[in-house]
Amino acid sequence: MSKRDLLIIGGGAGGLVIASVAAQLGMNVTLIEKEEKLGGDCLHYGCIPSKTLIQAAKVASLMRRGTEFGLPAVSPEVDMAKINAHVQSVIAHIQPHDDPQRFRDYGCEVLFGAAEFIDAHSVKVNNEIIHSKRFVIATGSRPFVPPIEGLQKAAYLTNVDMFSLRKLPERLVVLGGGPIGLEMAQAFSRLGSEVTIVEQLPHLLPQEDPEVADALKEKLASDGIKFYTSVSAERVSREGETRTIYCSDNITLQCDQLLVAVGRRSNTQNLGLDAAGVNFSARGIEVDARMRTSQKHIYAVGDVCGPYPFTHMAEYQAGIVISNAIFRFPKKANYRVVPWVTYTDPELARVGLTEQQVKQQGITPTVLRFDFKDVDRALAEVDTTGFTKLITYKGKILGASILGPHAGELIHEIVLAMQSGIKISEISATIHAYPTLSQIHRRTVNTLYAPKLFSQRTRTAVKWINRLLL
């Protein structure tokens, strides 16, 4: 029986960070990945391919909008096979960072196969039993496929299949109005598909501020995407290449491809968690603030335990495990300031609490807004849709939503301000280069001060001050 200091199950972002650090520090480490390559869902089926496809679709959109920039408009000829070949080339360019040999050079043993606990201290993989002092479970998540009648027989797409399509679907129906559904819906709409979104809840992006989510929906609808909210798919049939979706409210839709994007499920199956004594539920593996499971020597990070299904969250949690499991220095996860982004155009970025969540805590916040249409850089780039929304209380930021160009980049000034406990007056006092989109932060905050600055009281004070100094 082989013995290790640390055994990691899962070769995605979280598992790779821990394996890299532990091996380079001289620990005896084994990394086990079920698939035939490292990198996880993010590299192969998620973050990287989706953002590459989104950018290609944006270029296609800009080509059609040429006249807005004083240029001729061009209707691109979309070859889906070539676009997805480009997507795969980007993945291939990044893949060497996750080359198994790189980790082996660090001293980490890398095995490919399905790992299963046989007890709390032993794992079986490829008919080999490996014993370890400590374990990390980083097996990620998979698309959730709802039990809709006829769905399996009709065949459908998930994020795993989207990037291998050879032909652009003329008609695409997307089940789910969350981030993945909206991102892919807009991308395929811009490439030329007729796209319809079906969402069973009243609002798209139910985790977001309804005001911001509704503004994004309005923009997407103006671009030609059709929406059915408070509607659920009940049955699917197929004849030839045409799929028919029978929905509630007697709504019937037809399409050439059907994308299921209704959520994710943690990969806890077939891991032998019961044999290891690790508590888990349909929501994933249960962990404490130090990322420990019910077995204190077994840790979990990323989508398999939540609470947020983001790559940057898996990397953050990996740092918590490194502190606790490797350096043996107690450290707890803190989710007070966690940013996330929906990569539509305009992007929607969020951190902290929404206005509604703050009010539910019995706090009456001061809400500050500013439109991108009043930011000179946005005007120069003909990209003025959206606004910022700061939720503040007694001069501190409790949360923020940004709907607009490069919102995913802009949110980090607010993230840093919240993390450091900076008052909004410091943002106002900070020099922001002109013309940049980041000026919107200063101008948002200044909407609080402007009425006070130009009030009659201040005007009177200025009048008296200047008289006294004559």
Tell me the domain boundaries of the chain.
2-38+99-142+265-326, 151-263, 340-453
The 3-state DSSP class for residue 94 equals helix
Helix (H) or strand (E) holding 370, with range, is strand 366-371
Predicted model pTM: 0.95
CA atoms within 13 A on the CB side of 192: 15
CATH architecture of 151-263: 3-Layer(bba) Sandwich (3.50)
Residue 157 DSSP symbol:
B
Q: Which residues contact 368 (CB under 8 A, 6 or more apart)?
A: 388, 389, 390, 392, 424, 444, 445, 447, 448
- The third-level CATH classification (topology) of the domain covering 2-38+99-142+265-326 is FAD/NAD(P)-binding domain (3.50.50)
Distance of alpha carbon 26 from alpha carbon 21, whole angstroms = 9
Looking at residue 235, what is its pLDDT?
97
- Six token digits for residue 228: 């059915």
Looking at residue 130, what is its pLDDT?
96
Q: Is the pLDDT of residue 451 over 90?
A: no
Looking at residue 452, what is its pLDDT?
79
Confidence of residue 470 (pLDDT cuts 50, 70, 90): low
Looking at residue 467, what is its pLDDT?
82
The tens digit of pLDDT for each residue in 265-303 reads 999 999 999 999 999 999 999 999 999 999 999 999 999
Q: Name which of 240, 265, 251 is nearest 197 in CA terms.
A: 251
**Residue owning tokens 């408070």:** 230
The 3-state DSSP class for residue 8 equals strand
Residue-wise DSSP of 434-453: TT-TTHHHHHHHHHHHHHHH
Looking at residue 462, what is its pLDDT?
83
Distance of alpha carbon 190 from alpha carbon 164, whole angstroms = 18
How large is the average pLDDT for residues 300-328? 97
- Six token digits for residue 155: 């065949």
Confidence of residue 463 (pLDDT cuts 50, 70, 90): confident
Q: Which residues are paired to 236 by β-bridges?
A: 245
The mean pLDDT of the chain is 96
Query: Distances from the Cα of 249 to the Cαs of 151, 200, 221, 244, 253, in angstroms?
Result: 19, 11, 21, 15, 12
Residue type, 147: P
CATH architecture of 340-453: 2-Layer Sandwich (3.30)
The tens digit of pLDDT for each residue in 248-264 reads 999 999 999 999 999 99
Share of the chain above pLDDT 70, in %: 99
Q: Is the pLDDT of residue 1 over 90?
A: no
Looking at residue 424, what is its pLDDT?
96
Looking at residue 86, what is its pLDDT?
97
How large is the average pLDDT for residues 314-329? 97
The tens digit of pLDDT for each residue in 187-208 reads 999 999 999 999 999 999 999 9
Strand runs labelled E in 200-357: 226-229, 233-239, 242-247, 251-255, 257-260, 264-266, 280-281, 284-285, 298-300, 340-342, 347-352
Q: Which residues are paired to 142 by β-bridges?
A: 265
> How many angstroms separate the most distant Cα atoms in the chain?
93
Helix (H) or strand (E) holding 74, with range, is none
Q: Is the pLDDT of residue 44 over 70?
A: yes
Strand runs labelled E in 385-457: 387-393, 396-404
As a whole number of Å, the CA-based R_g of the chain is 25
Query: In CATH terms, are 2-38+99-142+265-326 and 151-263 the same topology?
Result: yes
Distance of alpha carbon 309 from alpha carbon 205, whole angstroms = 14
Q: From the CB of residue 25, how many other CB atoms can be counted at a distance below 10 Å?
A: 14
The tens digit of pLDDT for each residue in 110-168 reads 999 999 999 999 999 999 999 999 999 999 999 999 999 999 999 999 999 999 999 99
The 3-state DSSP class for residue 60 equals helix
Q: From the CB of residue 375, how many other CB atoms can be counted at a distance below 10 Å?
A: 25
Residue 7 DSSP symbol:
E
Distance of alpha carbon 383 from alpha carbon 205, whole angstroms = 22
- Six token digits for residue 93: 């360019």
Query: Distances from the Cα of 216 to the Cαs of 34, 260, 343, 362, in angstroms?
Result: 38, 21, 11, 28
